[in-house]
A and B are shown apart, each in its own frame.
Chain A
Amino acid sequence: MTREVVNPLWLRVWHGALALLFMGLIATGVSMHYAGSEWPMVPFRIAVMGHNACGIGAALLWLFFVIRSAVSGHLAHYVPADLHIIHSAVLQARYYAFGMFRGDAPPLSPGLRNNSAQQLVYAFVLFVLMPFSIVSGVLLLFPILAPEHALGRPGLWPMAILHLSVGYLLTLFVVVHVYLATTGETFFALFREMITGVRETSDPKD
């Protein structure tokens, strides 16, 4: 069994806090968007306050992550540097789709914290979806900053649609992210890795 520290403490704390805030954002966001539904929802007034608080927290955490990981060099794990990244990501996807059922070895290059598919998706989430979500969220929080009209409609309309669309995509990401976290060597291996920071890999002879 090989043991390797892959997740520093600050990253684990950041990840845990962001996960909690994401759960809060999804619960309050759904409650606001589907207000009046027959399903049990967070009361609207509380949902608004909760969503604002979680959103501000998530935006600050994102800012912290970008600065901290840029300073520490950790950002390299999230910036696809491989010129054949698409090809590598396809290989990884094929592994998830078929290879893992045949007992194939995961196509993870040695020394890399994230595989190619993860790199692509994480980069998209961190540097495209999150900024869009934060900017549109700030404009919804402070509507006075939003343009009076945009795309031929009142300015908040496109902002709200953008925020909602990005919210859907981030929720899809969270669902897939949590599911794929169960595809480690054991069901909880990757969850344990994110909590302890240590990656345990079975030696081939084991």
Chain B
Amino acid sequence: MPHCWTEWVILVQIIGHDRRPDSVWSRTILAVLGLAAAVIAWPADGAELADSETRACQHCHGLPDWRIHDPVSGNALELSIDSAAYLGSSHGELPCRTCHEWGYDKIPHTGAGHYPIYLCVVCHDKDRALESFHLDERKTDLRGSVHGATDDGPLDCHSCHDPHDFRPINDSADALKRIEQSNAVCLRCHGRVPRAAGSFVQPDAEPFHGHFPNPANHLRKIKCVACHTAAGSATFHDIKPKEQSVDDCGQCHTPTSRLLDAVYGAQRPGQQTNPGEDAYVIGSTRSPRLERLSQILFAILLGAIAMHAIARVIPWQRSRRQRSSDERGPDDA
């Protein structure tokens, strides 16, 4: 049940939108009601949004769990924006109209000015602060990946990276936290309880990893992209079909493991991390001191055994020679 007048207006709009109003009168009434809502809108509690226009947007889109059925695409549209999350995100200082530039004057919005695909790359093109992320390459890799042609068309940057809750990359020293943050992006759609709305939600990823020993542990301690991108991938956006994903233990459990860079390595170019101190990967992680100590111990032991064996054999051979010469007798000598 709506709690205030504004929410009643929104309800009317939603109903009107779903009924596809086609008369000029109904469109006008809905537009007036929507504008009225925006005019009398007051700032959301605790939110310090950038401008009055953005505050007006937030008054409707700040409602929790606001989801409608889009008659055009057939998908469920998530219309709620968490103001606190947005304000704390990398884009928190931007007014809504920075990205939602055209087609948002009318209520309900026509969507005619829906932001273009790969808008991140458009906005951040030649952004020196983001140069090291090579967004152009990410875009190319994404388009060539399984996500570049899904049943619902190509996925956009925003399909995985929520622009309203976009945060700087996790520089945590704790590898598990970095892995969790990276995998959370994939699990929005591929998780047991998908959080992303829409028909592209895929089945739970966990049952498909039953061939791993300790599958739950592998999924918790490996970034999905480590195995599901091409070897040596620089951007980790070229997600391969599952038939081409890494299925050979030897690719990770060796000293030249692809895991070390993909999972435990530096999060951004130039960053220094020591993967060996972050995790233990059988066959990959080795303690140089322990290796050297064990080699010395084995060398000493085998040397001692060899010397001991020789010391046993020499007198035994001597006595055998002596015995045979005794048996031959002095005349045979």
Inter-subunit contact B280/A156 (CB<8 Å): yes
In the complex, what's the smallest C-beta–C-beta distance from B253 to chain A, in angstroms?
Answer: 5
Q: Does B207 contact A (CB under 8 A)?
A: no
Q: A101-B315, A154-B175, A176-B305 are in contact. Are A44 and B249 (CB under 8 A)?
A: yes
Count of interface residues, chain B, beta-carbon cutoff 8 Å: 34
B285 contacts A160, CB within 8 Å? yes
Select the stretch in A14-22, A33-41, A123-131, A196-204 that faces chain B.
A33-41
Report the nearest A residue to B213, measured CB to CB. A48
**In the bound complex, do residue A32 and residue B315 qualify as a contact, i.e. CB atoms below 8 Å apart?**
no
A28-55 interface (Cβ within 8 A of B)? 32-36, 44-45, 48-49, 52
B interface footprint on A129-157 (CB within 8 Å = 1, 0 otherwise): 00000000000001110001000011011
A34 adjacent to B283 (CB under 8 Å): yes
A interface, size bucket: 20 to 34
Chain B, range 13-71, C-beta contacts under 8 Å to A: none
B287 within 8 A of A: yes
A-contacting residues, B214-244, CB 8 Å: 214, 216-217
Closest to A149 in B: B174
CB distance from B99 to the nearest CB of A (A): 40
On chain B, the residues within 8 Å of A161 by CB distance are 280, 287, 290
Q: Which residues of B have CB within 8 Å of A142? A: 214
Contact indicator B256/A36 (Cβ below 8 Å): yes
Question: What's the Cα separation between A45 and B252 when bound, in Å?
Answer: 12
Neighbour of A44 across the interface among B253, B256, B285, B308, CB < 8 A = B253
Give A25 Cβ to nearest chain B Cβ, in Å. Answer: 14
Question: Given A36-B256, A153-B277, do A172 and B282 touch, yes or no (CB 8 Å)?
Answer: no
A100 at the B interface (CB under 8 A): yes
Taking the closest CB of chain A, its distance from the CB of B40, in whole angstroms, is: 51
B267 at the interface (CB under 8 A from A): no
A157–B285 Cα distance when bound, in Å, is: 9
Indicate if B297 sits at the interface (CB-CB under 8 A): yes
B305 touches A36 (CB 8 A): no
Contact for A33 among B176, B250, B256, B282, CB less than 8 A: B282
Please tell me if A64 contacts chain B, counting CB pairs below 8 Å.
Answer: no
A176 to B302, CA, bound (A): 9
Residue of A nearest to B254 (CB): A36
In the complex, whether B8 has a CB less than 8 A from a CB of chain A is no
A168 at the interface (CB under 8 A from B): yes
Q: Are B312 and A36 in contact (CB under 8 A)?
A: no
Assembly CA distance A44 to B253 (angstroms): 8
Q: Which of B176, B213, B315 contacts A154 (CB 8 A)?
A: B176
Residue of A nearest to B287 (CB): A161
Cross-chain contact of B305 among A33, A101, A143, A175 (Cβ < 8 A): A175
- Residue ID in chain B nearest A101 by CB atoms: B311
Specify which of A44, A143, A168 is in contact with B294 (CB 8 Å cutoff).
A168
Closest-CB distance, A99 to chain B (whole angstroms): 12
* Residues of chain B within 8 A of A157, CB atoms compared: 279-280, 285
Taking a contact as CB atoms under 8 Å apart, the answer to whether B280 and A160 are in contact is: yes
Contacts of B297 in A (CB 8 A): 168, 172
Given A45-B249, A100-B312, A144-B217: A172 touches B301 (CB 8 Å cut-off)? yes
Contact B290 A164 (CB under 8 A): yes
Which listed residue (A96, A101, A153, A160) contacts B282, Cβ 8 A?
A: A160
| CB-based contact B283/A154 at 8 Å | no
Nearest Cβ distance between residue A28 and chain B, in whole angstroms?
11
Instruction: Kindly provide the distance from the CB of A53 to the nearest chain B CB, expressed in whole angstroms.
Output: 12
B298 near A: Cβ within 8 Å? Answer: yes
Establish whether residues B250 and A176, one from each chain, have CB atoms under 8 Å apart when the complex forms: no
Chain B contacts of A49 at CB under 8 A? 213
Cβ of B254: which chain A residues have Cβ within 8 Å of it?
Answer: 35-36
- Known interface pairs A144-B217, A154-B280; A48-B294 also in contact (CB < 8 Å): no
Most chain A CB inside 10 Å of its own CB: which residue of B250, B254, B282, B311: B282
Closest Cβ of chain A to B288, distance in Å, is 12
Rounded to whole angstroms, the CA-CA distance of A95 and B250 in the bound complex is 47
Using A101-B312, A168-B297, A176-B305 as known contacts, list a sample of 11 further A-B pairs with CB atoms less than 8 Å apart, ordered by residue number in A.
A35-B284, A36-B283, A142-B214, A154-B175, A154-B280, A161-B280, A172-B297, A172-B298, A175-B302, A179-B305, A179-B308
Write the residues of chain A forming the contact surface with B, with a CB cutoff of 8 angstroms: 32-36, 44-45, 48-49, 52, 96-97, 100-101, 142-144, 148, 153-154, 156-157, 160-161, 164-165, 168, 172, 175-176, 179, 183
Top 9 A-B residue pairs of the complex, sorted by shortest distance between their CB atoms:
A36-B254, A35-B283, A44-B249, A160-B280, A157-B280, A168-B294, A35-B253, A156-B280, A143-B217
29 A-B pairs within 8 Å (CB atoms) are namely A32-B283, A33-B282, A33-B286, A35-B250, A35-B284, A36-B250, A36-B253, A36-B254, A36-B256, A44-B249, A44-B253, A48-B213, A96-B308, A101-B312, A143-B214, A144-B216, A144-B217, A153-B277, A154-B278, A154-B279, A154-B280, A156-B279, A164-B290, A168-B290, A172-B298, A172-B301, A175-B301, A175-B305, A179-B305
